[in-house]
Amino acid sequence: MTSVILYRPSASGLQQANPITKLVLAGTLLAAAATIQPLAQLLAVFIVALVPLAAWSRVLALFLRTCARLIWPFALSLGVIQGFFAPGSTILLSLGPLALKAEGLGAAAVFSSRILLGLGSATLLMLTTRPDMLMLALVQRGLPRQLSYIVVTALQIIPSFQSRAQGILDAQRSRGLETEGGVGRRMRALVPLIGPLVLGSLMALEERAIALESRAFMRPGPRTSLCAIPDSRPQAVVRWILVATMIALVLHRVL
């Protein structure tokens, strides 16, 4: 079964930090990505902040690979669009009526770096944070339990939903449903797939509601948790420094 969870455990690094600290860190880096202007500074933040943190958390190779895989479609399309269509006078290459301009490429590089920094901070958060621990930490800070449940369950149930769809598809095929061919045929083949999938999922939903009730999910009163969420005074200080940095970045940009 495929998993949609990126988390990689490690005995050291960000994995051992409080999820809220990591969330605030990602938020601060996102603010940096949105507010910092020069290209060099954007790349410097990536190299000085994200790369060492990823290395400390023992996910550097995976982190860089994920970033590379995420960024190239943006970089390529921004490069083409900005390079050819943004106004500018420094022509690098002429292709008939189109001209590739240095100013456009420069703008594309800045945009791409912003996206890289933003996606990078989100990627590092996901690689080093268990989604359920993050949601638990948020619930302890007042997020509704139901909302947290929806997020965590979605992560786990999507793969099982996919395998259910595959099962129905196979069953319909074994009864002679043709699923290959032109667009029209493929569209028609969806009908006998969607009905059982949706109805089956609704029935499963009813049983899952009973299961949650039997496990005291809706019971009022205080709750405990099996996993302790790590936290410390220094981390709280780090959080406040990050929040202050975030505010400073935004103010600096706005004023």
Partner 1 sequence: MIEISGLTFTYAGASSPALRQVDLSVERGQLCAIVGANGAGKTTLCYALTGFVPHFYRGSLTGSIRLAGREVTKSPPADLVGEVGLVFQNPFNQITGARFTVREEIAFGLENLGVPRQEMVERLEEALDITGLAELAERSPFALSGGQQQRLAIASVIAMRPRLLVLDEPTSQLDPAGTREVFAALRAMTARGETTIVLTELKLALVAAFADRVVALAEGCVVADGEPRQILASETLQAYGIGETRYTQAARRALQSGLAPADRPLPVTLDQAVEFLR
| Number of amino acids touching partner 1 (CB under 8 A) | 34
Q: Does the footprint of partner 1 cover residue 202 (CB under 8 A)?
A: no
Q: Please, are residues 64 and 54 in contact by the beta-carbon 8 Å criterion? A: yes
Cβ-based nearer residue to partner 1, 155 or 238: 155
Alpha helix (H) ranges present in 57-101?
A: 60-85
For residue 119, the minimal CB distance to partner 1 (Å) is 24
Cβ atoms of 166 and 45 within 8 Å: the answer is: no
* Residue among 133, 124, 134 at smallest CA distance from 53: 124
Q: What is the spatial distance between Cα 252 and Cα 255, in angstroms, rounded to a whole number?
A: 6
The Cβ of residue 83 has, within 10 Å, a number of other Cβ atoms equal to 23
Tell me which residues in 3-32 interact with partner 1 (CB under 8 A).
Answer: 5
Across-strand partners of 91? 101
CB of 240 to partner 1, least distance (A): 28
Task: Answer yes or no whether residue 221 interacts with partner 1 by CB under 8 A.
Answer: yes
Q: Please pick, from the candidates 13, 159, 196, 230, the single residue that binds partner 1 as defined by CB under 8 A.
A: 159
Q: Is 204 in the site for partner 1 (CB under 8 A)?
A: yes
Decide: residue 191, CB within 10 A, 0-12 exposed, 13-18 middle, 19+ buried.
Answer: exposed
Q: How far is the CB of 92 from partner 1 (least distance, A)?
A: 51
Q: Which of 16, 41, 90, 153 binds partner 1 (CB under 8 A)?
A: 153
Residues that bind partner 1 (CB under 8 A): 1, 5, 130, 132, 149, 152-153, 156-157, 159-160, 204, 207-228
